[in-house]
Structure 1
Amino acid sequence: MSMSPRFPQINSVFFQVFSKFLIIILLLTSFNYFSFSFFKNNILDEIIKNNKLNLNNTVKEYEEYFIALREEMLRLYSDSKVSLINGQMMTRPQNEINYLLVSDLQDMMQKMTANRFLYMDNVFLFFKAQSMLIERDGTPSEDRMFSAFYSSAMYAPSFWRDQSSASYHFKIFPASLFAKHTGTSLTLMPVIVKNSAYTYYISALIQPDNLFENFHRSTDDSFFILNENRQPVYIHSQSTDFKLPDLNREEDFYESEGNYYFYKTSPLTGLTYISIIPTHRIYDQILGLNITLLAVLLVSIVISIIASIWFGRRLNRPIKQIMDSLQQPRSILQLKSNIREFDFISGKIQELNSLNQQIHQDLLTKSSQLENYEYIKKLKMIYTDSHDRGKIDRFFVVLFHLNYLDTDRSLTLERVAYFMKEFIHLSLNETFPNSFTIQIEKNQILTMVFGDDQRQRIEEALSRLKAVFDHDKQSCLVTAAVSSVYADSFEYHSAYEEALKLLDGRYLSDEMEIITEARPIPGSYFFTAKQEEEFFHLLQAGNCLACVDLIRKMLEHMAASGAVAGQFHKFSADILYKSLNILEAVKVETGELVRDYVPAQLAQICSIDHYLRFFERFFHRVSELVKVKKEEQDDTIAFVLEYIRKNYAEDISLEQVAAKLNLSPSYLSIYIREKTGSNYLEHIHTFRIGKAKELLENSDLNIQEIGRQIGYYNPTSFIRMFKRFTGTTPKEYRKLQTLQM
C-alpha cells in the first residue's frame, strides 16, 4: 500500500489554492500600486476641488438664507397694518394711534423671531414720521432701544434715523458686538429692507455666528464675508493677524504667503465669501494620506500571504481526510473539523429541526400580534386592503381608563398599564374564555367579550376587579365603561366610541367606578357676571379665604346638580387660568404659580375636599404675592383707576386725567401702559363692560339704555365693544344668564 507523501505535491489542493491566491495578491498589489501613484499625483487637485465645493455649498446656503430672510421681512413690511400705522402717524398724535394694530404686528414679529431657521435675535419697524420704533416686545424710543437694549459703538441711534432717507431696498450691514440690557453681549448683523417711496423701514438683527456654525463647510475656521465695496461684513478667524486676499484675479482661488484663498462672489446679494486654508494643513493631509496608503498596502500584502497559507492548509486537511476515506471504503467518515462548512454537514439535521421549531414559535407570536392589530384597526377605523375574518359572535367592549396618581413615580405609567393589562386578561379569561385584552392607548386598556349571554355576567366580574384595584387607588384610579352588545365586526368602532362617551360620565370619586349606561351630563359651569366681578376684586385684594369660599360654593353647587369629574376639572382649570390672567393684568409676577400649580395636577384630584385643599394652597400663595405687590402700590395708577370708577359713565378723556395729575397726556399714557400692561382706554372699557354685565343680569333695561348708562351712546359701538371683551353680544349674554338661573 502506498504511503501518502509528507509534503503536498505541486498538483495538490494546497499548492493549487495557494498559487491562485498569490496570483490574486499580485494583481491586487499591482492595481493598488498604480492607483496609489495616480492618487498621489492628483490628491492636491482633489483637496482643492473639495475646498472649492465646500465653499460653493456654504455660499449656496448663505444665499438661500438671505433670500428667505428678505422674503419674510418683505412680507411683514408689506402688511396692510404697517401702512395703516404709518398713515396714522402722518395724521395723528402718537397717543391716538391704534395700538391694537401695534399688538398684532408684535405678534407677527414674535413668530418671526421664534422661527429657528431665521437665526433672528430681534426685528423692528422704524417710522420716521414720529421717530417711533416697534419691536417684538414693545415700543421703546430709538435712543432707549439702541442705548440700553441693543447698544453698539458701530451703530449709534443716529445711524438708525439716517437709514430712513437712504436709497436702497435691501442691505446687509457689518456684524458688530451689541451690549444688551441683561448685561450680556452678542454679535449681531443688521439687515434692512425698505422702499424709497416710504419713510419707514424694517430691520432684522440676525446672529451671524449661528449662521457660520450651520452653513460653513471647511476644515478651517478662517472665513470672511465682504460686501460689494470689498468691506468686511463678517469675520470669523482664530487669528487677529490676517490679510484680505487680492480678488482681482480670474481664478477662484490662489496660494499666497502660506495660505490658500478660496473665494466666490454672489450675483444675487453682491457678497463675496472667502475661505482661508493654511498651506501646511493641505500638505500635512497629503503626507498623512501617503503614509497611510503605503502602510495599508504593505500590511495588506503581508496579511494576504499569511491568510493564503492558513486558509489553504485548513481547506486541504479535511479534503485529504475524505480522500483517505474513499481509499478505505469500510472506514467511517469522520466529518468533524475546524472548518465551519464540515461542521454544518455533520449537524444539518439538528439545525434544521431547531430552525423548524423557531419558525413555528415565530409564526405563533406574529399571529397573535396580527390579531391584535386587526382589532385595533377596526376599533379606530383604520382601513386597509386586508379581508374581513368573516361572521363573528355578538360582542361588547369593556374600556378601562387609568388615572395615574402615584406622585413618587416608583413605577412608570407604561409599567402600571402593562401589569394591569395582564391582570385584567387573566381575571376576565376565567369567566369569559373567548375574550381578549389589548392596550389601545397609554392610559386605556380594552377587553372584547364575545357571546349573547355574557353582558349580564360582566358586572360581577368587574366587581371582583374593583375589590383588587381599590387597594391601590392611592397610586392609580381605574374607571371601567361597558358598551352595549353589537353584532357585526364593522361596529367595532361604534362600540369603542360608545365606551369613550360613557367614560365622560365618571363622577368625582376616590375609588374604581363601573359605568354600564349613559349618564345625563349637565351643561357647562362658570361664574355669573356678578360672581366673576366679585372674584376679580377678591383676587386683586388678596382675600384668600373669600376666594376659596366662593369656589367652595360653586363646587358644592356642581356636586348637587350632578356634575361629572371632567366638568370639575374644566371649571378648576378655568379658575387657574382666570386667576393668572387677573394677576398678570395687575403686574403680579406669576412665574412661581405657573411652575408650582400647573393644571395637570388637577387630573389627580378625586374629591371636592382635595380641590379645596389645592385652591387653599394656591390662593394662600396668591395672597402673599398680592401683598408684596401692594407694598409697591403706585399712587398715580390708583388715582387713575379710582377716577375711572367714579366717572366711567361720562366722556372722560386722557387729557382730563392728565390735567388733574399735572402730567402730559403722552407721558401718562406710556406710564399707565408700562405699570399695568393695559392702556388708558382698555381700563375704561373693562370697567364699563363689567357694569354692563351687572345691568344685563339684574335689570330689565333694554340694550340701548344700558349702553347710555355706562357711557356708550352709540348702540353699535356698545355691542361691538361688549362682544370684543366677552366673546358674545349683550342679548346673547342676557339669554345665557337667564337659562343658567
Structure 2
Amino acid sequence: MITKRSSLFTKIFLGFLTIIILLSIILLVSFGIFRNSVRQEIVSFHELSLAHTVSNYENRLNIVKNLLLTMYYDEDVSLLYQQLQRGNKQNVDYLRLNNIWSDIRAHAANPLLNIENIALYFDPLSFVVEKDGTHGADEFFSKYLSSPDYTLDFFDQQMSTSQLLQTFPAASFKNYYQASKELLPVVLSTPSNHYLIAGFLDADKMFNALHPSADGNFYIYNKHGGLLYTSAAEYEDDSIFNDINANQGYLTQNHHYYFYHKGASTGLIYIHEVPMNRIVARISSLNQIAGALFIFAVALSIILAIWMSRRFNQPLLQLIQAVVNQKPPSSMTNSPAEFHLLLDKLSHIFTEIKRKDAVLTNYSFMNQMRRIHSSSPFPIPLDHRDGSFILVLCHINLREHEEGQPVEKVSYFIREFIDLFMSDRFSKSRTFQMDANEVLTVVFDVEERQLLTEAAARMKQIYDQDVDHYLITVCISGEYQRTQQFEEAYRQVQQLLRQRMMIQETQIISELATHIDFPLYRESDLEILFNHLEQGNASAVIELTDTLIEQLRRKKAPAIQYRQLAERIVIKRDELAFLIQGQYQSDRLKDRDEINGCLSAEELSAYLRGVIYDICVKIEERKLAKDDVIDFVLHYVEHHYNEDLSLDSVASKINLSSGYLSNYIKQKTGVTFSEHIMEVRIRKAKEMLRDSSLPIGVIAEKIGYYSATSFNRWFKKATGLSPGEYRRQSTLKH
C-alpha cells in the first residue's frame, strides 16, 4: 500500500526541496565571498584608475619638459641671447625671433599638451618672448601673465638657481583681460646662461583630461611634501603625506580612502581621496538587491517545486497504469508533450515493427541491386530507424587509377575513409558504396545542421589536397523525418549532383538552384560553329568553341551543360565523318566516357580541340585533293587578298572563263570564290586586331577595304562583333 509519506509526489517534492536548500546554502556562502571580492575589486579599481592617471601625468610632464629643453638649447634661442647680450635690440635677427615665436604658438595651440603659454625670459634688456609676441619682462609678468605668487623677482631668482628644471605649485594667473586660470609653472634655467624658459600648464584642464575618475579629490605633491595641485575647493590638511612610506598603495584616515602613487620619472606623489561612505554605499546597495533576489528566488523555487512535482506525478502514474494494463489511457491532461509522445509510441509499437520489417526488406533488395559494401547486414541500423536523417552523397571523379587498380577498388578505399571520418563525428551514421563512383552516408538525429556543414568543409580541405588524382562533389540533402522518405532524399542528392560546377576543387552543394532547361550559351554561335566545321575551318571552330565555353564559365553553368555542349559537337563530328567515310568516327559510349573524364573547362577544351582537328583534317583532305588550278587560286588569294580581286582577273591568268572557274572552285572546295576571299580577309583581320596595335582604319586598308565604315559593317556581319569589341575580347583572353 502506498502511503502519503512514500508517495511519488512526496518524494519528488522532497527531492526538489533538498536541491533548493543546498543551492540556497551555496548561494549564501558564494554571496559572502562575492561581497568581499566586490569590496576588493572597488579598491583595485581605484588603484588602477590612479595608476592610469599617474601614467598620463608622467607622460604629459615628460613631454613638456623635453619640449622646454629642446627650445632652451635651440640654435635660434642661443643666437638671440647672444644678440641681446650686446645691449641693442636693433641688432636682433627678427627672422630667428619669428621662428621662436612660431614654435611657441604651435606648442601652445596643441590641445594635447594643455600648455597655456610659454615664456622665454632674457635677463639682458629684460626681454620676454611669448605666444602673443614680445614684451618687457616687467610688463609681461604684471599685465599679460600675472600672479602674486610668481612675480618678476621670482623669475629673476630662478636665473641663479642650481636646479636645472623645476615644477612649482599651481597658482591663479590673470591675463591681459583679467581672466583667471589655475596654471602650473615648469621652469628651466642654467646658472651659466642669463635666460630661462617657463611653461605654464593649464592645471584644471590637465586634471579633467588625465584623471577619469569623478569620485573624491585629487592631489599632487613634490618629493619634499609641497603641494603642487589639488582639485579640492578647500584644502584643509596635508598630514596624509607624512604617512606615505611606499611607492604606491592606500591608507584609510578620517573616514576616507587615500590612494597614492609615486611617479617613476618625476618623483611626484599623486593622491586620490575617496570618501569611505561611497564604497560602503555601493556594497550596501548590492546587499539589499541580493537579499531581495534571494528571498524571491527561494519563494519562487518552492512554488515551482510544488507545481513541477504535480506535473510529473500525474502523467507518471498514468504511464505506469498504461504499462500494467497494456492499454494506453484515452487522454492525458496537463502533462508534458514528451509523455504524449511516449504513449503514442507504445500504442503504435507493434504496427511500427511490422512496417519496419517491410522497410528493411525493401532496403535489402536495394542493397543487393546497388551492390552496397557495408559491414552490417542492414543498410540502416535498427536502433535509428525512427529518427530524422540527412543524406550525404560523395560523387568521385577519378583522374587516374592508383597503381593500376580498378576504379571500384580505389572508390572503396575512399569509402572507408569517409566511413571513419563521418562515424567519428556522428555516432549515428552509416556509410554505403552505392556505385563505383558514389558513396552515400546516412546521418541520423543531427542536432545542428551547422555541425554537418562544418564536417563537409573539413572534408573539402582534405580532398582538395588530392585534386590531381580525383575530384569529389559532396551533396547534402535536407532533413527528413521518416525512413520511408529515403528514396525522396536520394533523388534530392542526385538533383544536387547535377549542379556540380566545372572547377578544379572539391564542391559542397546543399541547396537546390533554379532548374534551367535551356543552354546558357547562344545557339546562334553553335550554328556558326557547325557551318565552319562543315567547311573544315579548324581555327574558326576552335575559336567559337572557346567562346561557347567562356559563355558557360561567365554564367557559372553546371558541368552538365559543358558535357551537353561537347556531346552536340561530337555528334556533329560523327555526322560529317559519316558523309566523308561512310561510317561514324567512334563509339558513342567511349566518347561519353572521355567527355565525363574532363573535370575542368580547360580539359574539355583540349579534348574538343583534338576532335575538331581530326575531322577538319579529313574535310580538308577531301576538299583540297591535289589540284593545280585550286592550288593556284588559293595561293593567289592568300597573297593578293588586299587587292581588288575579281573572278575575271584570276580566270584570265590561267586562260579559263570566269563561269567555268566559278563552278570548278565550288565543285572542288565546297565554297565559292567570294567565300574564299572573305575567309582569308577575316582571318588576316583577326590576326592584325589580336597581334598588333594598328588603328582599325589602317587594318581595313591592309585587307582591301578603303572605307573603315564598310570594314566595320562587314566584320560585324561575319563575326558577330565589331573590330573594337573583338580586339578587347582578345586582349582579355590573353
TM-score by length of 1: 0.41
Q: Pick 1 or 2: higher relative contact order, CA cutoff 8 A, min separation 6.
A: 1
TM-score by length of 2: 0.41
Decide which structure has the larger Cα Rg and report it.
2
